Amino acid sequence: MKYLTLIYNSFIWALLLATLCFNSTWLQMRMNIGYIFFGSFILLSLITSLIFRKRCRPFKIWQLVLSPALAVIIGIVVVGAQRLTIIPATFIREGLHLTTLDFGLINLVLILIMGFGLAGILWKNHTDPCSSCCHNQCAK
């Protein structure tokens, strides 16, 4: 469950980073922002896995809830609420080279990943907080 938590947070922050990069017309015209999303997602996942490899629970419950909320607030402030519903679907569609996919479908998948990911992590932490600990490191 530890790695699911790290991957989930990496996904959220990679979405925000790519959304902020999409806001730059200069960068958007010169490269595929989808590559920035997928690259930063992989890079953030690896970095956080290395940083937190010895910790049983890398984040507290309030940090898990605050992370996506903070990312959405930053996104709304920087690009606006209306554009925030289109931009992530745009660069994911470009990054996958599937321009025939509908924005609504991509947004639905993003909402499901974010919602079920957070719900699953919170449920697992609530029902069995020490399940992924090794050598009784729950106090750390």
pLDDT in tens, 92-138: 998 999 988 898 899 999 999 988 988 888 887 767 655 555 545 55
Q: Is residue 91 part of a domain?
A: yes
| DSSP state for residue 135 in the 8-state scheme | S
Q: Is residue 101 part of a domain?
A: yes
Which whole-number Å values give the CA distances from 102 to 41, 43, 49, 131, in the listed order? Answer: 22, 28, 33, 39
pLDDT at 17: 94
Angle, in degrees to the nearest 10, between helices 2-22 and 103-127: 150
Q: Is residue 136 part of a domain?
A: no
Q: Is residue 132 part of a domain?
A: no
Write the Ramachandran bin of 18: left for phi over 0, alpha for psi from -120 to 50, otherwise beta: alpha
pLDDT at 108: 92
Q: Is residue 133 part of a domain?
A: no
Number of domains present in the structure of the chain: 1
Q: What is the extent of the structural domain holding 96?
A: 2-127
Average the pLDDT over 13-28 and give the result: 91
Q: Is residue 64 part of a domain?
A: yes
Q: Is residue 119 part of a domain?
A: yes
Q: Residue 62's pLDDT band (boundaries 50, 70, 90)?
A: confident
